[in-house]
Structure formats: C-alpha cells, structure tokens
Structure 1
Amino acid sequence: MAGLDKEQPVASTVLSSQIALKDATGSVAGGWGASETRAHGRSAYPAVVVSKGDSADNGGVTLKIWVDDWQIQCCGQSFAPGDVVSWNLLEVDPEDYAAVVGSEHAPAIDFREEHHGHEEEQALTSLEVLAVAEVHCRYAVPPGSTADVLYPVPGTTVMVPASEADGWAEAQPDVRFAGYLVTARRTKDEG
C-alpha cells in the first residue's frame, strides 16, 4: 500500500467483524482499531447519493443495513438521513453481527452495503435513508487464542445517533468505531 512505511501497522479485514493486526515484522500492532487503515486490494464500486433531502415516502417496510466504516472511508460517499442513495445490498446472516451491534439489534439486520467486487452480481437498490447510528465496540483477542486476530467483545456495543455518515466518528471511551447501522426504505421506483 502506497504511503505506509515499514514501521506503521497495517490492519486487514478478515470478516466484517474480525481484524488481523500486524506490523511489518509480523508482530501484533497495538493501538489500532476497526476504523484504521485496511488493505483490501479490490476495485472500487462507490455508493451513489442520488439526491439530498428528496423524500421517497412509499409507506414501505423499513430495512436495516450494515455499512462497514472502511467501505465509506475507502471510496464511498457520505450520506445522511433524508438522502436517497443507490447501494449494492447483499443479504447477511444477522448473527454474524451480534457481537458488533449487540444481540438485541442483530436480528433486525437485513443487508450489508457492499461496493467492492460484486458489480455484476447485484443491481443497485435505491433507498431513502431514514436514520443512521454509529456503532462502536471493543475488540480483543479471545482468551486462549494463539492467533493475532481481534474480535468484537460481546456486550460492549455503543450506538450513537449520527446526522451524517462519512466513514469517521468521534472517539468514544474504551471502544472503537466499526460502522453504521442504517434504517432505510426502498424508494417508489423500486419494485
């Protein structure tokens, strides 16, 4: 990755909720969190903000969508409640997000937003963003693990309502920013 010197830690996404942290010597890097630099090596497929503030009230069912912090940091566009966006949505197993968002919020997650490597597989979905919450949690190597992989620590979730999502969040005590839980609904032109 251009711009990283040999002494700077590099984090890479293992799964959306697991982070392997190593420096150039292969040692576990300290102090790096879920919102730090990640090497992902895939082509960009940016989310598109279709319009700002145009309501798409179709009385439809709301959807819960997970958006990884790094997806927006890498090459996504910021968004806010009231925006109409076009996103590539992939179905998820909500339990994969339980440790990150908390067991009470995980069952509601329908999709994750993805704009890396799935261009031909899925059409974009037009959505009106209704609400955005920053999701923060603590990460740690599980007890007894010999791997240098950090996992979200269950029960440490902190959610902060957000007026805009740009991939970055104000630091919260004892937790690291992981992404956004977005409430949205399909716009009228979606069938």
Structure 2
Amino acid sequence: MLFGMAIRVWVDDWQMQCCGAAFRIGDEVTWTLVTEKRTDKLTELVGLDIGAPVTHVEEHHGRLPEGAPTTRGVVTAIHAVFGRSEPRPGGEKNVRYPVPGSGRLLWIHEADGWEDESAVGAEHFRGYIVDLDVHR
C-alpha cells in the first residue's frame, strides 16, 4: 500500500480504449499499479524531466499475478500525452515508432481513452500522465 504519498502514474492509451473506466480530476480510483520501469518510451518521447517522475504504470491486462494488490487514490491532475511517430530509417515503411522529443502534454479535466488529436497538430495520442494522491 502506498498510503501517504502523491505519485505519478502512466496510463496507456490502449489500456483505456480497451476496457478502462473513464476518470476525472477529483475522482477516487482503485488501480493495480506496477513499479517496474516500463516508461522508457514515455521518457524518450517527452524527455527525462517529465518522464522520470512517472513511478508507476496502471495495468489491468493479465500481466499481473492473480490477487495483485490495488492502490486507491484521488486524481489530482491529468495530462494527455501526444507524440509523432515515423518509420525508422532503413526500416519497414508501414511500421511507425515514436519520434524522440516530439511529445506534447495537454492538461485536461477528464480522461476516457479517446483524445482529440487535432488539438495538438500531427501528434498521436499515447496515454495519460496522472497525478494520484494516496494520502486520503
């Protein structure tokens, strides 16, 4: 249990789009969080200053042992993360990868997994950085 902490959590776009529950600032959520560092691509996209403070990843797709503990907290901030993707030089043209440093954040009030990409230009929606207050 992470009681008595404020943490920053990564929530993948595809996790929300598949079967995640919408949430908004002020909502109490109960999430299964992993602390293994699976945020390398996020850090590459948005930079170390933004990516490094993300200490947890929300997970609900079978990569966890049965009965994995959950964490309950209040959502205090939500940032939608967008970034460009392109084929790698010499790689397959139909396989696209995140472009390092192309990440943009958009502060939002609620998240449902589907964000308007036209709001930030040519970038693709990648997921959310969520501040979670587990003091309560």
Which TM class, normalised by the smaller chain length?
A: 0.7 to 0.9
Q: Which amino acid aligns with 1:65?
A: V
- State the one-letter code of the partner of 1:86: T
Aligned residue identity for 1:101: V
Which residue in the other structure is 1:142 paired with? 88
Superposed CA deviations along residues 89-113 of structure 1, whole A, max 9, x for unmatched, are 0113243421233332111010110
Q: Which fold has the larger relative contact order, with Cα–Cα distance below 8 Å and residues 6 or more apart in sequence?
A: 2
Deviation for aligned residue 1:119: 5.4
| Distance in 2 of aligned mates of 1:151 and 1:65 | 22
Q: Using the alignment, how far apart are the partners of 1:69 and 1:124 within structure 2?
A: 20
Two-structure CA RMSD over aligned residues (Å): 1.9
Q: d(CA) in 2 for partners of 1:128 and 1:142? A: 39
Instruction: Report the Cα distance in structure 2 between the residues aligned to 1:89 and 1:159, rounded to whole angstroms.
Output: 22
Relative to its length, the structure with more helix (as a share) is 2
Q: What is the letter of the counterpart of residue 70 of structure 2?
A: L
Matching residue of 1:6: none
Number of residue pairs matched?
130
Q: Percent identity?
A: 36
Whichever residue aligns with residue 88 of structure 1, its letter is T
- C-alpha distance after superposition, 1:15-36 (max 9, x if no partner): xxxxxxxxxxxxxxxxxxxxxx
- How far the C-alpha of 1:148 sits from its partner, in A, is 4.9
SS at match of 1:67: strand
Which consecutive residues of structure 1, in runs of 5 or more, have no partner in the other structure? 1-57
Tell me what 1:120 maps to.
66
The range that moved more, 91-100 or 109-118, is 91-100
Match of 1:89 in 2: 33
**Are the equivalent residues in 1 in contact too, given 2:5–2:135 (CA < 8 A)?**
no
Highest CA radius of gyration, 1 or 2?
Answer: 1
Match of 1:40 in 2: none
TM value normalised by structure 1: 0.62
TM-score (norm 2): 0.85
In the alignment, which of 100, 106, 120 is matched to residue 160 of structure 1?
106
Superposition pairs of residues 164-179 of structure 1, within 5 angstroms: 164-171=110-117, 172-179=120-127
Q: How much does 1:81 deviate?
A: 1.0
